[in-house]
A = this chain, B = another copy of it.
């Protein structure tokens, strides 16, 4: 039973491979009367495109979105919203030699194990290009959230082992790397340069913050807000860990340190990350995602082929050094999709 649908009431289903005709999806369950046009989605897509600053490939992907349904006279009609982004810049020749060999850290081996064969061109469905559809859908979700004055931000708090020292929200999304801390940009660029020369790659940590969330969102006991955020965030290819509020640090705190006291003016701290017992408390939602280094490295690696013969592989070509910053808009999209679904789910039960 395939899993290409996310959400229950605000529900996005996506399709598309790296080297097929294109990528797209359907958003079903978007309320009627939401302002929407292609420009709104295009703006979000433009943020994840390659060639955006350091660590990125020089590939040019012109991801032009078309809205195929569900919008009339500039507003959503309540019917399903189809959208499509054609693949325009794929070179199949780059990939044909990967038909029979398994790249370490990629899904080549597991896709073959699962489906018996795979579209080997550029990773097929397991390519990072799949996230184009997530970002498009996330842009629609953000229109719904905006109507409730809910705002999702995502930014980098650590890159290549170098943490940001502070988080300055103002203008955070126009900064290189969507960096939390403008003072770290130079150090991160340098780190990337060094690693690039080694033919290697880097990871980092991204934080997603949601402001303006009303108390009451989340559906215990299995679809708690944090549980659904965890699924959404972890479903992004490069993510190996997700935490809420104090996260793994909470495991080392005392109860008296970790608890957030309440006062008539509100909570006095936010170790909980805005979620108590799986339900939003009205504080900012704070989620972190651990991003692994990109597995395509320009160094020789041991691997096997489809006949289980030993091989070595060295992946050249136009690859990113780090999934950051491209993964940042994707994580923002996943959190926006989750929150929108939770907003409508809460409304359904009210």
Contacts and interface: CB of A to CB of B under 8 A. Distances in A.
Interface of A: 1-6, 8-9, 11, 13-17, 20-26, 28-29, 31-33, 66-70, 72, 75, 77-82, 84, 102, 104-107, 109-111, 113-119, 124-126, 130, 158, 160-161, 195, 198, 200-205, 215-224, 226-235, 237, 239-248, 250-264, 268, 272-273, 275-282, 290-297, 299, 301-304, 308-310, 344-350
A205 B69 contact: no
Of all A-B residue pairs in the complex, the 7 with the closest CB atoms, nearest first, are A107-B277, A3-B223, A3-B219, A241-B243, A348-B348, A201-B255, A110-B279
Given A80-B15, A242-B234, A282-B113, A4 B28 contact: yes
B219 A227 contact: no
Q: How many copies of this chain sit in the oligomeric assembly?
A: 4
Contact of A301 (B115, B205, B224, B261): B261
Contacts of A9: 1, 9, 348-349
Contacts of A294: 255
13 contacts: A13-B80, A21-B69, A24-B69, A32-B349, A110-B281, A113-B281, A158-B252, A204-B251, A230-B231, A240-B250, A241-B242, A247-B290, A259-B301
Contacts of A261: 104, 301-303
